A and B are shown apart, each in its own frame.
Chain A
């Protein structure tokens, strides 16, 4: 079994229900996110539209975070999930440097690395990840990539525009997008103006490190 995620961006409406569900399920501290939805506005007024991209750990088949972790705190489990053992993590931030998707952060409460685990604890109890359950439009499709009859496999068979983020990195992500453009997937394809958040002016967070 190799579990994977697919997000149909045609369906996503940016409600952030997945983000909140993840926060609650995994007790993700303030200022950090395992999953987040990025908004990018495209075009020039009045011809504008807003795009939504849920971003989480890609659970790569060839995960740079797993490779660089000096103590195997980041490790694969049999179903393909890249899991994290927070009791073992030494907080070197090597994984933060290695993840090309910026999906790993240092938990300010435990001072250890943390990221999306596809809700491995729920899957162990035969439940779906919290974000999948919360999505009102079923934009999050989760399942076994090795099973041709799984929902995710069928979805991938039916759609031709299945993409991953940064394929050139050779990480073989187990996280796919349907209906994505460069603006969705390439962080350099959109401007980040000072104070780019709708709700505040914070552009950087002091999450550790010394500079």
Chain B
């Protein structure tokens, strides 16, 4: 029970320093959002390779390029968010391995490096010095890049778990949400990128991934929304910012509708009507909505006074 609710106590802060403003703002949201698309596309490309490799022919190059661009957007915003961006090299020369930030920075760097190699293979496949069969090498490398994409996706959840002051961010939940964000945005991005290059069957397949990712992520958010307040008073106060007249309540629900509820409905509609356009609309909404959802969840724990 929050003490100040007791009339007998009626405790009021009468002199304190101002609370620090939000430190991790939309730059970090961009970081998480872009990384979800970057690694999600790799997951989807790998699934396509395993499911129907004949459809890979026109998708290897655009997918790896878009993933590479999104990973660079992620790195750019990570760098821009630092208060001392020119000291970024310290992470590589003075690494502290208990920090998920360090581990993530190293893995993301290797991941982007491998993506660069894959991209170079496809762009210069006729002149490629690495192998005479660039496509076979690309597909072999894709397996290892997909495996690396898993921890690259998850490490941000590690950072959130290590942010022990922010009770809302709990590791098992956040790691699942990170993976679901990647499968949601990855499937949405490949639906948009693939277009007519994807068979109807593959479009339906990625539509199912999109719909199920949206459903599972929505269930987790709603579980937290309904039951989270029972865990601790900190979580109860934080969730108050997205409930009732809370500061971020409108934004929270816009995010839930745009990222999850509408895409779920549209995926179902596209399956019954066989409309590719409806599926694409679902994909666009999911990508846009994910940014809003991530932003709200990032900001609200930072509104809580800690001392």
Contact = CB atoms under 8 A, between A and B. Distances in A.
Contacts of A205: 17-21
B16 A183 contact: no
Interface stretch (B97-105, B114-122, B281-289): B97-105
B163 A98 contact: yes
Interface residues of A, number: 66
A43 B9 CA distance: 5
Interface stretch (B23-31, B42-50, B68-76): B23-31
Interface of B: 2-4, 7-27, 81-85, 87-88, 90-91, 94-96, 98-102, 105, 159, 162-166, 233-234, 237, 299, 302, 304-307
A98 B164 contact: yes
A74 B260 CA distance: 40
A64 B8 CA distance: 35
A190 to B, nearest CB: 4
Contacts of B163: 64, 68, 94, 97-98
B100 A96 contact: no
Contact of A94 (B12, B99, B234): B99
Contacts of A210: 25-27, 81
A36 B16 CA distance: 8
Contacts of B3: 182-183, 186, 188-190
Which secondary structure dominates where chain A touches chain B? loop
Given A67-B99, A111-B83, A88 B94 contact: yes
B161 to A, nearest CB: 10
A67 B17 contact: no
Contact of B21 (A43, A188, A189, A209): A209
Contacts of A68: 98-101, 159, 162-163
A209 B24 contact: yes
A116 interface: no
Interface stretch (A101-109, A125-133, A145-153): A101-109
Interface stretch (A3-11, A134-142, A154-162, A195-203): A195-203
A204 B21 contact: yes
B78 to A, nearest CB: 9
Contacts of A99: 165, 306
Contact of A187 (B20, B24, B302, B307): B307
User: Which of A90, A96, A197, A199: most chain B Cβ within 10 A?
Assistant: A90
User: Which of B10, B27, B81, B91: most chain A Cβ within 10 A?
Assistant: B10
A207 B21 contact: yes
A209 B94 contact: no
Nearest to B302: A97
20 contacts: A37-B15, A44-B7, A64-B162, A68-B100, A69-B99, A70-B90, A70-B102, A70-B105, A96-B20, A97-B24, A97-B163, A98-B164, A165-B307, A188-B3, A190-B4, A192-B13, A192-B16, A198-B14, A199-B15, A206-B21
A93 B20 CA distance: 12
B91 A43 contact: no
